[in-house]
Chains A and B, each alone.
Chain A
Amino acid sequence: MRKEMIISVMSKDRPGIISDITGAIYRLGGDVADLNQTVLRGYLTMILSASFEPEVTKEDLLAAISHIKTSCKFEVSIKELSPSQLEEEAGPPEETYILTVQGPNKSGIVHGISLFCFTHNINIFDLATTLRDGQYTMALQLDLKHCISSLAKLQQELEEYSQQSGLTIMMQHNDIFQVTNEIALH
Chain B
Amino acid sequence: MLRSDQILATVEMIQKENLDVRTVTMGISLLDCRGGDVEQTCKKIHSRIIDYAGNFVATCDTISKKYGIPVVNKRIAVTPIAFVGAGFFREDFVRIAQTLDQAAKDVGVDILGGFSAQVEKGMTNTDLEFIASIPEALARTERVCSSINIGSTQKGINMDALAMMGKTIKDLAEITADQGGFAAAKFVVFCNQPGDNPFMAGAIHGLEEADAVLNVGVSGPGVIARALERLIEKHPEPGTLRLDELAEEIKQTTFRVTRCGELIGRAVSKSLGIEFGVVDLSLAPTPTVGDSVGEIFKILGVDAIGAPGTTAILAMLNDAVKKGGIFASKTVGGLSGAFIPVMEDAMLAEAVGDGSLCLEKLEAMTCVCSVGLDMIAIPGSVDADTISAIIADEMALGLINAKTTAARLIPVPGKEVGDSVSFGGLFGASPIMPIRNIGKSSRFIAWGGRMPAPIHSFKN
Contact = CB atoms under 8 A, between A and B. Distances in A.
- Decide if A and B are genuine partners: yes
A63 interface: no
B7 A152 contact: no
A151 interface: yes
Contact of A172 (B1, B4, B6, B10): B10
B230 interface: no
Nearest to A96: B1
Contacts of A130: 4
The B interface, classified by DSSP as helix, strand, loop or mixed, is helix
B4 A128 contact: yes
A155 B10 CA distance: 18
Interface in B289-341: 328-330
B164 interface: no
Interface stretch (A18-26, A42-50, A74-82, A174-182): A174-182
A110 to B, nearest CB: 14
A126 to B, nearest CB: 4
B263 A126 contact: no
B455 interface: no
B181 to A, nearest CB: 42
A115 B343 CA distance: 51
Contact of B7 (A139, A155, A173): A139
A173 to B, nearest CB: 5
B10 A177 contact: yes
A176 B11 CA distance: 10
A171 interface: yes
Contact of B68 (A141, A173, A179): A173
B420 to A, nearest CB: 40
A181 B6 CA distance: 7
Contacts of A151: 65-66
A29 B68 CA distance: 48
A98 interface: yes
B65 A172 contact: no
A137 interface: yes
Contacts of A175: 67, 263
A175 B8 CA distance: 14
Interface residues of A, number: 25
B14 interface: yes
Of A130, A172, A180, chain B has the most CB atoms within 10 Å of the CB of A180
A176 B67 contact: yes
B303 to A, nearest CB: 33
Contacts of B69: 176
Contacts of A139: 1-2, 4, 7-8
Nearest to B263: A179
B458 to A, nearest CB: 38
B13 interface: yes
A133 to B, nearest CB: 14
A72 interface: no
B19 to A, nearest CB: 9
Interface string A132-155: 000001010100000000011001
Contacts of A98: 1, 7
B1 A128 contact: yes
B270 to A, nearest CB: 12
Nearest to A126: B1
A176 B6 CA distance: 11
Interface of A: 98, 100, 102, 125-126, 128, 130, 137, 139, 141, 151-152, 155, 170-173, 175-181, 185
26 contacts: A98-B1, A98-B7, A100-B8, A102-B8, A126-B1, A128-B3, A128-B4, A130-B4, A137-B8, A139-B1, A139-B4, A139-B8, A151-B65, A152-B65, A155-B68, A170-B14, A172-B68, A179-B263, A180-B9, A180-B13, A180-B256, A180-B259, A180-B260, A181-B2, A185-B262, A185-B328
Nearest 5 A/B pairs, CB to CB = A179-B259, A126-B1, A180-B256, A181-B6, A139-B4
Given A102-B8, A173-B67, A179-B262, 9 more contacts: A100-B11, A139-B2, A151-B65, A170-B11, A172-B11, A177-B6, A177-B10, A180-B259, A181-B6
